Amino acid sequence: MKKTFMLWCAVCVGLHATAGWYGYSPFGDGVQARNIYSRGGGPTHK
């Protein structure tokens, strides 16, 4: 169990390093369409 967990940790860190090395994000690439701006968004305060 302990060895399995250590292996799991190593895999996690390896995936983290690989994602960092290639600059991959699991939450989209940040790319947007042109001219999508409006009034900034305005205050969300109610």
Partner 1 sequence: MNAAAAPVASTKALECPSCGGPFELHAAGYSTLHVCQYCGSEIDLTSDDETRLIVEHTEAAKALIIPLGTKGVINGVEWVCIGNIEKNDGWDTWEEFLLFNPYHGYRWLIFQASGWSVGTPILTQPAHPNQQGFRYEGARMKRIYDIAESTIERAIGEFYWQVKKGDRVKSTSYVGGGKVLSCELTGNEFNWTLEEFVSSKGIAQAFGIEDTGQYPATGDYPQPHQPNPHGDSLMTKALVASIAFVAAIFISVLLSFEGQSFTQSYTANPSVQQRAVDVGTFTISGRTKPVTITASGEPGDNNWMYLEYTLTNTATDEEIIASQPIEYYYGRDWKEDDRRGTVKLSAVPPGTYKLTAEVLLPEDEPNAGGAAIPRPVNTFATARPVTVTVRSNGTFNSHFFWLFLALFGPVIWMGIRAANFESARQSGYDGADDDDDD
Residues within the interface to partner 1 (CB under 8 A): 1-2, 5-6, 8-10, 12-13, 16-17, 19-45
Vertex 25 angle, CA 22 and 27, to 5°: 165
Question: At its nearest, how many Å lie between partner 1 and the CB of residue 3?
Answer: 11
Question: At its nearest, how many Å lie between partner 1 and the CB of residue 38?
Answer: 8
Question: At its nearest, how many Å lie between partner 1 and the CB of residue 28?
Answer: 7
Give 27's DSSP letter. Answer: T
Pick from 13, 31, 10, 9: which is nearest to 21 by CA? 13
